[in-house]
C-alpha cells in the first residue's frame, strides 16, 4: 500500500508541474544537460559501433518522425529514441549523477524524439526533461541500498 501512495504522489507531482513552476536556474541546467546529450550523440556517431546501430535502424525505415542526431536522418520515434540513447552513452562522456548512473541517456533522447514527433513547444520539452531527471534520480536514490540493507537482503547479518 505504501508503494501505491508513493507512486500516486509522484504521478500527481508530474501531472501538476508546469514550466512556470520550475526555477530559472533549473531550466538553465536542463538546457546545459540537453546540449551535453546532443554533443555526446553527435560525437559518438563517427565510431564504428554507432555506425552499425544507426545503419540497422535506418534500414528498418518507417514513418519519418524524429531525428537520429548523428546522421540527421529521420526515423520512427521509437527507433530514433533507441539510437540516440545508445549514442548518448556510447562514449561514456554523458552526465552522471552520484551513484545512480547516467540519467541523461534515458531522459533527453526520448524527450527530444517525442517533442519532435508531436511538435511540442520548447517549454513543454524542457518541462519533460526536468521532470524526467527529477523522477529518475528520486527513484534511483530510493532504490539504492545502504551497505547495511545490502548485507541484510543477502542474509549476511
Q: What is the pTM of this model?
A: 0.87
What is the helix (H) or strand (E) element at residue 67, kind and residue range? strand 66-67
Separation of alpha carbons 89 and 30, rounded Å: 17
- CA dihedral of 64, 66, 67, 73, whole degrees rounded to 10: -10
Residue holding cell 536522418? 73
Separation of alpha carbons 12 and 6, rounded Å: 10
Length of the chain: 157
Separation of alpha carbons 17 and 48, rounded Å: 41
Domain of residue 135, residue span: 2-153
- Phi/psi for 152 (5° steps) reads -65, -45
Sign of CA dihedral 72, 74, 75, 80: positive
Domain count, the chain: 1
Tens-of-pLDDT digits for all 157 residues of the chain?
577 888 899 999 999 999 999 999 999 999 999 999 999 999 999 999 999 999 999 899 899 999 999 999 999 999 999 999 999 999 998 998 876 789 999 999 999 999 999 999 999 999 999 999 999 998 888 877 677 766 776 777 6
Sign of CA dihedral 10, 11, 12, 15: positive
Predicted pLDDT at 83: 97
CATH of the domain at 56: 1.10.4100.10
Q: Which of 93, 65, 99, 102 is nearest to 80 (CA)?
A: 65
Amino acid at each position: 500500500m505504501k508503494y501505491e501512495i508513493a507512486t500516486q504522489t509522484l504521478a500527481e507531482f508530474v501531472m501538476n508541474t508546469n514550466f512556470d513552476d520550475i526555477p530559472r536556474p533549473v531550466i538553465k541546467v536542463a538546457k546545459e544537460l540537453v546540449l551535453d546529450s546532443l554533443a555526446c550523440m553527435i560525437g559518438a556517431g563517427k565510431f564504428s559501433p554507432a555506425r552499425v546501430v544507426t545503419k540497422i535502424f535506418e534500414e528498418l525505415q518507417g514513418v519519418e518522425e524524429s531525428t537520429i542526431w548523428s546522421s540527421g536522418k529521420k526515423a520512427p520515434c521509437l527507433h530514433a529514441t533507441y539510437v540516440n540513447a545508445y549514442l548518448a552513452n556510447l562514449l561514456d562522456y554523458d552526465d552522471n549523477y552520484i551513484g545512480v548512473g547516467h540519467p541523461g541517456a534515458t531522459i533527453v533522447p526520448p524527450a527530444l524524439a517525442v517533442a519532435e514527433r508531436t511538435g511540442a513547444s520548447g517549454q513543454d520539452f524542457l518541462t519533460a526533461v526536468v521532470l524526467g531527471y527529477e523522477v529518475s534520480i528520486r527513484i534511483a536514490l530510493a532504490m539504492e541500498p545502504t551497505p547495511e540493507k545490502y548485507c541484510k537482503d543477502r542474509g549476511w547479518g
